[in-house]
């Protein structure tokens, strides 16, 4: 049973890595918007990528630090076109 898990991991890791490489510029374009919104420090916690016909949707969780030093949880979503432009960007409080 353990060998199946290891075998599955060996097959899935390269596939996931190529997916991230394929969309790395789009992810970076979205993450740049996330950091631009921060008044203080921002820490991206998770990132999910969904490819749709002519666009890529990047969403995830981010922690923003407020003026008192406390961390506040937010969700973000970006639509990124093939030229890495970001026509839609939204951040909402809470996870």
* Residue 19, pLDDT score: 54
Mean pLDDT of 4-32: 66
Could you tell me the pTM of the whole model? 0.76
> Is the model more confident about 57 or about 2?
57
Range of the domain at 41: 24-93
Q: Residue 26 pLDDT > 70, yes or no?
A: yes
Mean pLDDT of 28-38: 97
Domain count, the chain: 1
* Residue 86, pLDDT score: 97
Asked whether residue 19 is domain-assigned, the answer is: no
* Residue 57, pLDDT score: 97
Asked whether residue 54 is domain-assigned, the answer is: yes
- Pair of tokens at residue 7: 């075998």
* Residue 20, pLDDT score: 60
């Amino acid at each position: 049973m353990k060998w199946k898990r290891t075998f599955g991991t060996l097959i899935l890791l390269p596939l996931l890595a190529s997916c991230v490489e394929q969309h790395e510029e789009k992810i970076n374009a979205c993450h740049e918007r996330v950091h631009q919104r921060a008044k203080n420090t921002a820490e991206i916690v998770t990132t999910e990528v969904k490819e749709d016909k002519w666009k890529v949707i990047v969403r995830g969780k981010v922690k923003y630090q407020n003026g008192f030093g406390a961390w506040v949880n937010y969700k973000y979503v970006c639509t990124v076109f093939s030229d890495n432009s970001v026509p839609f960007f939204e951040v909402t409080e809470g996870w």
